Amino acid sequence: MPLARTRHLALAIATLATFATLACSGDSTGPGRAEVAGSYRATTLAATQGGMTEDALAAGATLTIELRADGTTTGDFFLPAALNEGTDEHVSMAGSWTLDGSTVRFQQSGDSFVPDIPFTYRDGTLRADQTISGARIVAVLTRQS
pLDDT at 86: 95
Bigger pLDDT: 30 or 97? Answer: 97
- Taking the C-alpha atoms of residue 75 and residue 106, their distance in angstroms, rounded to an integer, is 12
What's the pTM value of the predicted model, to 2 decimals? Answer: 0.78
pLDDT at 28: 55
Name the H helices within the chain.
2-24, 33-36
Q: Domains in the chain, please, with CATH? A: 33-143 (2.40.128.20)
Bigger pLDDT: 28 or 133? Answer: 133
* Residue 93 three-state SS: coil
* Conformational region of residue 3, where left means phi above 0, alpha means psi within -120 to 50, and beta covers everything else: alpha
Amino acid at 95: G
**DSSP 8-state class, residue 117:** S
64 forms beta bridges with 41, 76
- Taking the C-alpha atoms of residue 6 and residue 137, their distance in angstroms, rounded to an integer, is 61
pLDDT at 15: 37
